[in-house]
Structure 1
Amino acid sequence: METEILNTDILNQAQSWILNNQELLIRYTVNITAALLTLIIGFMAVGMLTGGMNRVMKARKIDNTISDFVTSMLKYGLLAFVIIAALSRVGVQTASFVAIVGAAGLAVGLALQGSLSNFAAGVLLIGFRFFKAGDYVEAGGTAGTVQSVQIFTTILMTPDNRMIVVPNSKILNDNIINYSKEKTRRLDLVIGVSYSADLKLTKEVLTRIISEDVRVLKEPDCRIAVSELGASSVDFIVRPWVKAEDYWNLKFDLLEKIKNELDANGIGIPFPQMDVHLFREDKA
């Protein structure tokens, strides 16, 4: 009996509190609902806006490194704005919140100096355009095809399809070699022949091989000359100019053809050898 009376009192007090604070409850319910709707609609709008902007930039053939970087920056900035707007709907003072976020950002910034340097390096990489998406580069102690430049990192893909994530600051602070920047490249080959070989014939064979390949550019001229009298070989340099996209295929084909043609003309290619002399010692 006493328990029932106690429960009834609690229920009556709750009902009385609800009636007395009905306006407050309605206001908070509306504010919380509005905040949730702001978050949901805001996140959807940010996704649609950034996605559409990315598609437009790619349709206008803007470099992927620029479009991805700008899209990422815009996305995070808009998401921060949506979150602040949602918090203001539930009564959070945005001015105080911004001040708190600023102070927290300063503390986090001091703790994450490396990340901030990566961010700054990413801005510089995009601004100076040292490379673009699709370029094959050697940077940050590794090499690969540039996929994209993110806020903090650059994504490279190796020829054997491995993804390499390199911090932007490491790339900016190291040498950057862009193999795809120019349309043409010089192929440097060193061909060693034996000292007994006919040098004039060797040069004629090498010249004929180069002239017969249509992938070799007529200008600039290909340089074929003796470069060194080595310990066991006479070294020729063969330096044809080719289109950048033909570089590797031409290199492999020329090496194979040069070997076959030298063999066919009786021109030897020396290789390391060791002569072992055995002496028999007679026992007394």
Structure 2
Amino acid sequence: MDYDLNIDNLSIIKEKAIDLAFQFGPSLLKALILLLVGRYVIRLLIRLMSAALEKYEIDPSLSTFFKSFLNAILWVLLLISVATTLGMEMTSFVAILGAAGLAIGLALQGSLSNFAGGVLILVFKPFRVGDSVEAQGTIGEVESIDILYTKVRNFDNKVVTIPNGALANNPIINYSQKPTRRVDMAVGVAYGTDLKKVRKVILDVLKKDERIHDDPNPVVYFTNFGDSSLDLTIRCWADSADLWPVYWDNMEAIKEALEAHDIEVPFPQRDIHHYYPEGKK
């Protein structure tokens, strides 16, 4: 008797499964096909958009942002289409989507702030892709500006992801925005050195470097009486891309020129005077 009952239950379950398969199977199959085709179409549209943006030489910052934004919109539309294909009524879906959007909006206030920050960055352009910037304790080259985040690659090749909201609401130093930069160098010479001679030697070195601009002219100023040296500040101007090569090359060239002219570059030292009581060594 129990065996017959189990067989009857299995038959009923099997029939119901077949009914459900015939009832919902076509919708599931359509939804799956729509999802696969839609994913392919989204990728195709993104590639076409990338080619168009590259063809018309759109700013890489805008290009990355537009592609990210279009990708998000297309996926939302695809998911709505899949849901309606499964039989979900559009009005009900819109109501659920609205309620979910409100809840998600309250939960993701930071993300909305980042999105607004990304829009502000693209509108006012404090920096662009490829610029060298300093922000949020990070110095590096901007790799991409996405919907919510900006990626900055450090000069030691580490990628830092910074929220756009923080970038839009805090100071940013852009080292690439201006075509020229001032190169500051510091040199110390021994007390008693002829500063006019030192100035001439240094300026002669700077004149040999074609990367250094003549306007404004390079200058050498005496700036401080140091503990062990007379401190001088050297200032010259060069293209932004040549800043560090100019600094490194000329610091070495100045050191060699000072040695060639017997000008002492001192190291820290102290004179100690020891006084003994009378009659004692």
- TM-score normalized by the length of structure 1: 0.88
Q: 1:187 aligns with which of 162, 183, 188?
A: 183
The corresponding residue for 2:78 is: 82
Matching residue's letter, 1:77? I
Equivalents in 1 of 2:121, 2:17: separation in Å? 60
Post-superposition offset of 1:12: 7.9
Matching residue's letter, 1:79? W
The corresponding residue for 1:215 is: 211
The corresponding residue for 1:269 is: 265
Match of 2:65, SS?
helix
The corresponding residue for 1:138 is: 134
Match of 1:37, SS?
helix
Equivalents in 1 of 2:151, 2:196: separation in Å? 49
Say whether 1:46 aligns with 2:31.
no
Distance change (3 Å), C-alpha of 1:99 and 1:253: same
The corresponding residue for 1:67 is: 63
Say whether 1:236 aligns with 2:226.
no
Match of 2:224, SS?
strand
Larger CA deviation: 253-262 vs 96-105: 96-105
Say whether 1:98 aligns with 2:94.
yes
Larger CA deviation: 71-80 vs 107-116: 107-116
Equivalents in 2 of 1:48, 1:55: separation in Å? 11
Post-superposition offset of 1:27: 5.5
**What is the correspondence of 1:97-116 to structure 2 with a 5 Å cutoff?**
97-116=93-112
Distance change (3 Å), C-alpha of 1:95 and 1:5: closer
- Structure 2: give runs of 5+ residues left out of the alignment: none
Match of 2:142, SS?
strand
Match of 2:62, SS?
helix
Post-superposition offset of 1:94: 2.2
Equivalents in 2 of 1:92, 1:193: separation in Å? 83
Match of 2:143, SS?
strand
Task: String of CA shifts for 1:144-202, please: whole Å, max 9, x gaps.
Answer: 10000122211111111111111212222221111111221111112222231111111
Matching residue's letter, 2:7? N
Larger CA deviation: 232-241 vs 210-219: 232-241
Match of 2:36, SS?
helix
Q: 1:156 aligns with which of 152, 156, 170?
A: 152
Equivalents in 1 of 2:201, 2:119: separation in Å? 52
Say whether 1:204 aligns with 2:200.
yes
Match of 1:187, SS?
strand
Distance change (3 Å), C-alpha of 1:4 and 1:241: same
Say whether 1:178 aligns with 2:138.
no
Equivalents in 1 of 2:5, 2:249: separation in Å? 98
- TM-score normalized by the length of structure 2: 0.89
Distance change (3 Å), C-alpha of 1:262 and 1:29: same
Post-superposition offset of 1:276: 3.7
Task: String of CA shifts for 1:217-245, please: whole Å, max 9, x gaps.
Answer: 22222222323344443332221111111
Distance change (3 Å), C-alpha of 1:2 and 1:173: closer
Equivalents in 2 of 1:272, 1:10: separation in Å? 95
Task: String of CA shifts for 1:55-113, please: whole Å, max 9, x gaps.
Answer: 33134332322111111110011101011011111111222222222222222222222
Distance change (3 Å), C-alpha of 1:112 and 1:222: same
> Could you tell me whether the CA contact under 8 Å between 2:203 and 2:219 is conserved in 1?
no
Say whether 1:167 aligns with 2:163.
yes
Aligned length: 279
Equivalents in 2 of 1:158, 1:269: separation in Å? 34
Distance change (3 Å), C-alpha of 1:208 and 1:29: same
